Amino acid sequence: MVRLNKNGGPRNLEKIDRMCALFTDLSSKDMKRDLYIVAHVIRIGRMLLNDSKKGPPHLHYRRPYGCAVLSIMDVLQSISEIKEEKDFVLKVYT
């Protein structure tokens, strides 16, 4: 889980090194299947879209905001071709 501020940056800059994941338990059989990285984006805050000052300030709601998907096969193919680190961008659909 990664917490971001309202501008989309990391909430805590000291923890920026921990914004990654390592999957070690995938077998070769798993790698031949259709695997995807799925990101669920959750908005935590007031229920109003414009965050106006109406209503009780202490209530914060957790609700779905968007979703993004990336195929593992696309990642593996591009890594095997280049043999170096590469960034991948996930488009978030709201």
Evaluated on CA atoms 12, 86, 73, 28, the torsion sign reads: negative
What's residue 3's pLDDT?
75
pTM: 0.65
- Give me the tens of pLDDT residue by residue for the chain, a chain 94 residues long: 677 777 877 788 787 777 777 777 888 888 788 889 898 888 887 776 665 566 666 677 888 889 999 998 888 777 767 667 778 888 889 8
Q: Could you tell me which residues come within 8 angstroms of residue 28 by beta carbon, excluding any fewer than 6 positions away?
A: none
Which CA distances in Å does 89 have to 3, 31, 39?
17, 21, 11
Q: Give 46: exposed, middle or buried? Use CB within 10 Å, 0-12, 13-18, 19+.
A: middle
